[in-house]
Chains A and B, each alone.
Chain A
């Protein structure tokens, strides 16, 4: 087992896997609406086309980033990961505190189905529009996963490991979704988003620091301490935000 398995590889692959679960659950809701409303051909064609585009992005961008000097790359990727991770953490905290509404897969499914059913035109045109809807949903949700995979891959040379983590989540969610044949509304999306936000923020701060020449005590091991710090801070901010919001709305 590599020396940095527990401190870097496992958290990186887990972050890619969990982020992929969150995004694929959301994309699956739209694909399911397309499939049940306009048939499975446009749904599957749109999904496969979007997955192909995402795979191309990862395959083209991932190896190309190796030509950038490592400190510059770690700094840029670190800053982007901090912004992205803290964005997810912010939203997850606000949702957990009741300030923002939780994402509702059943409502999203109902809305997408309603939109598809309200469209008029020739059957071939409607199938084409439905295929585009599935393509767009998978592409847009998958962009965030592709970014995480490329960023983690670039920061520590874990492109294949992160890709496999994301792909495993994709296969798992699609298999469960195909078996249940309904939106995966019971997946604890916000808790997963919270966890990914914590991990990506920790990775982001770590790599930004590395890029700036920070000497982290304990080397890679500090990643676990940073993640714990963001986790505890996130839980504390959730409680404080809930109290503050309750006072305002009382």
Chain B
């Protein structure tokens, strides 16, 4: 049972290494998807928006952790 529990924990960690990153990326993708579906932006702009959102989220989580974590561990 402990192996199964570890497998489930590992699967969770694979996609939620950082909760803020996961939530922000999923929210960003949902917003872009809705905007494309409702034709508020074109398919090309949708791709650009998706890329910019992912890079912005990555920058935010990295810089936040760099500011908040003390020591290299």
The interface of chain A, by Cβ under 8 A from chain B, is: 79-80, 82-84, 86-91, 93-94, 97-101, 132, 135-136, 139-140, 143-144, 147, 201, 205, 208-209, 212-217, 222, 226, 229-230, 233-234, 237, 240-242, 244-245, 248-249
Contacts and interface: CB of A to CB of B under 8 A. Distances in A.
Contacts of B73: 100-101
Contact of B47 (A94, A215, A249): A215
Given A83-B22, A237-B59, A244-B63, 13 more contacts: A84-B15, A86-B25, A87-B21, A94-B66, A99-B69, A144-B10, A213-B43, A214-B50, A229-B51, A241-B63, A241-B65, A244-B67, A249-B71
Closest 6 pairs (CB-CB, A-B): A87-B17, A241-B66, A214-B47, A215-B43, A244-B66, A245-B66
Contacts of B21: 83, 86-87, 90
Contacts of B72: 98-101
Nearest to A244: B66
Contacts of B33: 212
B54 A205 contact: yes
Q: How large is the interface on B (under 10, 10 to 19, 20 to 34, 35 or more residues)?
A: 35 or more
B3 A80 contact: no
30 contacts: A83-B21, A83-B25, A83-B26, A84-B15, A87-B14, A87-B15, A87-B16, A87-B18, A88-B17, A90-B18, A90-B21, A94-B65, A98-B72, A100-B72, A135-B3, A139-B3, A140-B6, A140-B10, A144-B14, A201-B54, A205-B51, A214-B46, A215-B47, A229-B51, A229-B55, A237-B59, A240-B59, A240-B62, A244-B67, A245-B66
Interface string B30-62: 001100100000011011001100110111011
B70 A132 contact: no
B54 A212 contact: no
Nearest to B56: A233
A229 B53 CA distance: 13
B46 A143 contact: no
Interface of B: 3, 6-7, 10-11, 14-18, 21-22, 25-26, 29, 32-33, 36, 43-44, 46-47, 50-51, 54-55, 57-59, 61-63, 65-73
B22 to A, nearest CB: 6
Contact of A216 (B18, B25, B32, B47): B47
